[in-house]
Amino acid sequence: MAKKDKAAQQEKKNEANENEEPNFSDEEGFVDRISDQDLLGDILAERPKETDGVESIIVVDKGPRVEPEKLNKFKSVINSFFSEPGQIVSAYYPVGEDGKTKGYFFLEYASPTIAQNAVSIYNNAPLDKNYTFAVNPFTDFKKYEEIPAWEPPTPEPYKPLPNLQYWLLDPDAFDQYIVRNDMNLVQVWHNTLPQPQVICEKEGWTETYVQWSPLGTYLVTFHKLGVILWGGPEWERIMRFHHPGAQFVDFSPCEQYMVTYSPQTENVNKKLIIFDIRSGAEMRSFSLEMPAIWPIFRWSKDDKYFARITRNLLSIYETPSFGLLDKKSINVSDIKDFSWSPTDNILAYWVAESKDGPARVVLMEVPSRKELRTNNVFNVADCKIHWQKSGDYLCVKVDRYSKIKKEKNDIKYSKMYYNLEIFHMREKLIPVDSIEIKEQIHAFAWEPVGSKFAIVHGEPKNVTVSFYNVKTKQDPVCLKKFEKRTCSHLFWSPHGQFIVLAQLLADSGALEFVDTNDFASMNTTEHFNASEVEWDPTGRYIFSGVPQWKSKIDTGYWIWSFQGKILKRYNTTSFVQFAWRPRPPTLLSPEQLKDIKKNLKKYTSEFEQKDRTRMTKASKELIEARCKLMDEFKKSITKRMQRWKDKKKRRLELRNHVDTDDLEGADAGSVEEESIEFLIKVEEIPVE
């Protein structure tokens, strides 16, 4: 190669010698009319600028001011401190009039990426306990210089929301419910009489499941990027909330705020987000260090406070600041569970037994943090807090043991017995009644209004359902015991009085409808394999369902009247979810309600009239449909009968001219008589 090159050069030289080089110099007095820009603009544009390479420079601030004699040592410290991402190419330490450095300095790296790394590594990095560096890229100067002047945002044109409460205006107060199938086809039904109707239907409306907000205003759907709220008569999208992977949603009781939980999100600080529903704004986000019971945040009845527990802390937050109440959590070692009163800003929590003392149930007023009542209980294995919906009573079901055995990390309790500690919230000093039940308690439920509660206790296959009444200054009275029942769950009507005793375990589905005024069992029936039961918000209907994910056969949902009369069976193989649309509390005053109850007869006759009209119309429609079917069938029959008549001759031929078209046909005379004996009675006579 080298030889060849040399040869080529030689040749060139020879050429140059042969043709003498022309003179390229400008003539005297020549004025160049073409500017450099025109001639080589493209090359000039690439000319290095003074500011080139600024991306590789970082500004380090909040450093110490160093005297000149120490500067060299400082430089070497800085050099080694900042050289982790890459070699420092140059450094500049501005010096003030007093000779000391100004506390800030500039470092240049070999490339912008290294500089970027350096910013992320060293920003807020402490040099020692006195100095913590603030590190910024040099380009920030430019960035902040160029911030455009603030313009007041133009107001968004007002878009009226649809009437979110429209369904409450239904003149007949028919309720709504949603039904979802396994392909996420979501249907909103209107529970009209005599037949419910679908009012809205969307395929793939959600990606997982749907949920109503607690007052029924919104329907929540879940998507990859977050959740969406729907509502109004046209089922419009009301608001979108961005929270990738959100799987759970919980609302504050007044529907002002919403908590979304995304268990798998990569952003650990945003596992839980609280949104303001009406503005859609994110109010605060939380991380979640340890597994917790959903809902993690529990809200006070007026949306003013929300609380969560972590290992030994009870944290109460305020709205709308979303900061901790009194800026600190409450230290409660071994706090196990807590629950807000449904009607007052009172919080009940219980603390497990420890070396220092017994288990405690505490009632705390918020925000004063005053402990209204503390109840000590001994030999406690577990507690369950049950508030009555009207907030009049609180029952803490205490599982107690007679013996405890510790094996490594396992604690084994034996000889269990159960206590019901009943707190009278509306009485002075909150007196507590205690009922001891020897048998295992499977279910507990307060009557939502009134002072009754029901418990299921005994052997799982043969339980007793007991009803108690709580009274002022008296021990609770056992009103009634239903013995030898199969029952695992209790469902009180939202307005009390009626209760459904349900066995929702596998291979059962027994349902018993009881009126607790006289403890009459109105109906005992079964929806085989049912695992879901829910009252409608008015206490008129009950749904029972066998979702597809629980059972392969007989999936579907049934609707019953409160008396246990089956109204409708929908047996659909793809059924997965059913939910009644909740209703907000009534706006009628207690006096108005009393008045209505007094004049019930008047209203009853009105409604009965309405029902009759509807039934007549429905039966008329049914009869019309039947008549139509009958007519069609008769038409098709005529042709067939003609054909049949035509073949009469052939038929007779085939059967030796015996007419067998009628049972009592031509051969009736030839029937032989046969005597037949009937067994009438069996008598046993002992032989003497």
Partner 1 sequence: MKPIILQGHERSITKIVYNREGDLLFSSAKDKTINVWFSLNGERLGTFDGHNGAVWGIDVDWQTTKLVSGGADNTIRLWDCLTGVELGCLSTQSAVRTSKFSYSGTSIAYSTDAALKQNCEIFLGDVRGDNLRNPYMTLPVRDSKVTALLWGEVDELLIAGFENGEISQWDLRMAKEVNNICEHNNSINDMQTSKDGTLFVTASKDNTAKLFDIDTLECLKCYKTERPVNSAALSPVYEHVVLGGGQEARDVTTTSTRAGKFDARFFHLIFEEEFGRVKGHFGPINSLAFHPDGKSFSSGGEDGFVRVHTFDQSYLDYRFDVGS
Judged by the rule CB under 8 A, the positions of this chain that interact with partner 1 are 507, 526, 528-529, 553-554, 571, 619, 622-624, 626-627, 629-630, 633, 636, 640-641, 643-644, 647, 650-651, 654-655, 660-661, 663, 671, 674, 676-679
Closest CA to 321 of 272, 284, 366: 284
| Least distance (Å) between residue 488 CB and partner 1 | 16
AA identity, residue 272: L
| Least distance (Å) between residue 499 CB and partner 1 | 23
| Least distance (Å) between residue 500 CB and partner 1 | 19
| Least distance (Å) between residue 463 CB and partner 1 | 19
| Least distance (Å) between residue 549 CB and partner 1 | 17
| Least distance (Å) between residue 558 CB and partner 1 | 13
Beta bridge partners of 330: 314
Nearer to partner 1, 140 or 624 (CB): 624
What is the spatial distance between Cα 510 and Cα 487, in angstroms, rounded to a whole number?
Answer: 7
Beta bridge partners of 412: 405
Nearer to partner 1, 370 or 569 (CB): 569
Maximum CA extent, the chain: 165
Beta bridge partners of 274: 259, 284
The alpha carbon of residue 155 and the mean position of all alpha carbons in its chain are separated, in whole angstroms, by 33
User: Other CB atoms closer than 10 Å to residue 452's CB: what's the count?
Assistant: 23
Structure tokens given for 20: 């003498």
CB 161 within 8 A of CB 232: yes
Nearer to partner 1, 269 or 660 (CB): 660
| Least distance (Å) between residue 462 CB and partner 1 | 17
Beta bridge partners of 546: 556
Q: Cα-Cα-Cα-Cα dihedral of 484, 490, 492, 494, to 10°? A: -170
| Least distance (Å) between residue 566 CB and partner 1 | 13
Report DSSP letters for 158-222, one per residue. P-PPP-TTGGGG-TT---EEEEEETT-EEEEEE--SSS-EEEEEEET--SS-EEE-TTSS-EEEE
Nearer to partner 1, 147 or 663 (CB): 663
Residue 605 burial class via C-beta count within 10 angstroms: exposed 0-12, middle 13-18, buried 19 and up: exposed
Beta bridge partners of 452: 469
Nearer to partner 1, 224 or 650 (CB): 650
Nearer to partner 1, 252 or 555 (CB): 555
| Least distance (Å) between residue 650 CB and partner 1 | 5
| Helices 590-598, 600-646: inter-axial angle, 10-degree rounding | 60
Nearer to partner 1, 607 or 644 (CB): 644
Contacts 24+ apart (CB under 8 A), 356-359: 359/383, 359/398
What is the spatial distance between Cα 138 and Cα 123, in angstroms, rounded to a whole number?
Answer: 13
Residue keyed to tokens 């007094």: 598
Nearer to partner 1, 573 or 613 (CB): 573
Nearer to partner 1, 77 or 654 (CB): 654
Nearer to partner 1, 369 or 648 (CB): 648
Report DSSP letters for 228-265, one per residue. EEEETTTTEEEEEEE-TT--EEEE-TTSSEEEEE-TT-
| Least distance (Å) between residue 644 CB and partner 1 | 5
| Least distance (Å) between residue 622 CB and partner 1 | 8
AA identity, residue 213: S
Residue keyed to tokens 């294995």: 381
Nearer to partner 1, 137 or 556 (CB): 556
337-368 burial code (b ≥16 CB/10 A, e <16): bbbbbbebbbbbbbbbbeeeeebbbbbbebee
| Least distance (Å) between residue 676 CB and partner 1 | 5
Nearer to partner 1, 410 or 677 (CB): 677
